[in-house]
């Protein structure tokens, strides 16, 4: 597996994940200069994907809304730190969103709450009809196909880690894997996912 070459021209990066939508990297650069209108556009272009991820990890709708709010404030604050050479703007934003969602569920109190809220949140997920969602459903089909290329244990390990917010050590325990092997399953699975989704870098 070859290292992925960096791409200094940020605009082209949105191709893989954002499709024909606005240039998220350009919106981030405007936001870094204090352009709130650009940030509103950025929010509208990405909020359902960020929130969808946060909701899957955090599960409790009220807490998820708080986390999504925190995530966008953090994206605003860090907007100048986005580096297009290291990946797409959406990927950078999803990384911030995921980190915050995971940190939230790892606090003990939140962990008990999300179990109570599990059924509720699973019924509340609905797809809207914005352009973002329409594009994301195409994306979702590609992702589902890519997930089909993984072994069961790779897929389970990635889902428990990424959506469950569990550490690789906890994933190993949950899947009855020897300690230290879950991280390998996660990495192998992600590499296969990356290669089969054909993430454009």
Give, as ranges, the residues between 38 and 97 that touch other proteins (CB under 8 A). Answer: 39-40, 43-44, 47-49, 51-53, 55-56, 62-70, 72-74, 76-81, 83, 85-88, 90-91, 94-97
Nearer to other proteins, 128 or 176 (CB): 128
Nearer to other proteins, 52 or 176 (CB): 52
Nearer to other proteins, 96 or 176 (CB): 96
Per CB under 8 A, does 14 bind other proteins? no
Per CB under 8 A, does 194 bind other proteins? yes
Nearer to other proteins, 26 or 201 (CB): 201
Interface residue with other proteins among 111, 116, 125, 173 (CB under 8 A) is 125
Interface residue with other proteins among 14, 113, 117, 156 (CB under 8 A) is 113
Alpha-carbon gap, residue 47 to 132, rounded angstroms: 9
Interface residue with other proteins among 115, 119, 120, 127 (CB under 8 A) is 127
Please state, as a whole number, how many other Cβ atoms lie within 10 Å of the Cβ of residue 127.
12
Q: Is the dihedral of CA 97, 98, 103, 109 positive or negative?
A: positive
Dihedrals φ, ψ of 40, to 5°?
-60, -40
Alpha-carbon gap, residue 199 to 86, rounded angstroms: 13
Alpha-carbon gap, residue 94 to 82, rounded angstroms: 12
Interface residue with other proteins among 14, 24, 25, 31 (CB under 8 A) is 31
Alpha-carbon gap, residue 56 to 158, rounded angstroms: 13
Per CB under 8 A, does 22 bind other proteins? no
Interface residue with other proteins among 10, 27, 117, 162 (CB under 8 A) is 162
Q: Is the dihedral of CA 148, 150, 152, 155 positive or negative?
A: negative
Q: How far is CA 49 from the centre of its chain?
A: 8
Torsion angle of alpha carbons 72, 65, 59, 104, nearest 10°?
60
For the bound state, the minimum distance from the C-beta of residue 119 to other proteins, rounded and expressed in Å, comes to 16
Interacting residues with other proteins between 131 and 150 (CB under 8 A): 132-133, 136-137, 139-140, 142-144, 146-147
Q: With H, G, I as helix, E, B as strand and everything else as coil, classify residue 183.
A: helix
For the bound state, the minimum distance from the C-beta of residue 189 to other proteins, rounded and expressed in Å, comes to 7
């Amino acid at each position: 597996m070859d290292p992925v070459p960096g791409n200094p021209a940020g605009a082209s990066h949105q191709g893989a994940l954002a499709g024909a939508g606005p240039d998220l990297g350009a919106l981030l650069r405007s936001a870094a200069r204090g352009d709130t209108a650009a940030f509103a556009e950025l929010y509208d272009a990405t909020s359902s994907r960020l929130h969808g991820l946060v909701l899957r990890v955090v599960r409790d709708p009220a807490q998820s809304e708080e986390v999504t709010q925190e995530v966008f404030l953090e994206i605003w604050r860090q907007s100048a730190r986005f580096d297009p050479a290291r990946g797409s703007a959406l990927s950078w934003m999803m990384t911030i969103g995921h980190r915050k969602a995971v940190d939230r569920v790892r606090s003990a109190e939140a962990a008990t709450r999300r179990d109570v809220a599990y059924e509720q949140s699973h019924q509340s997920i609905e797809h809207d009809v914005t352009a973002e969602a329409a594009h994301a459903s195409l994306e979702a089909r590609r992702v589902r196909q890519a997930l089909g290329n993984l072994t069961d244990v790779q897929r389970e390990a990635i889902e428990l880690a990424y959506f469950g917010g569990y550490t690789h050590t906890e994933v190993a325990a949950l899947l009855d894997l020897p300690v230290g092997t879950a991280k390998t399953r996660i990495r192998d699975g992600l590499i296969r996912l990356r290669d089969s989704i054909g993430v454009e870098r």
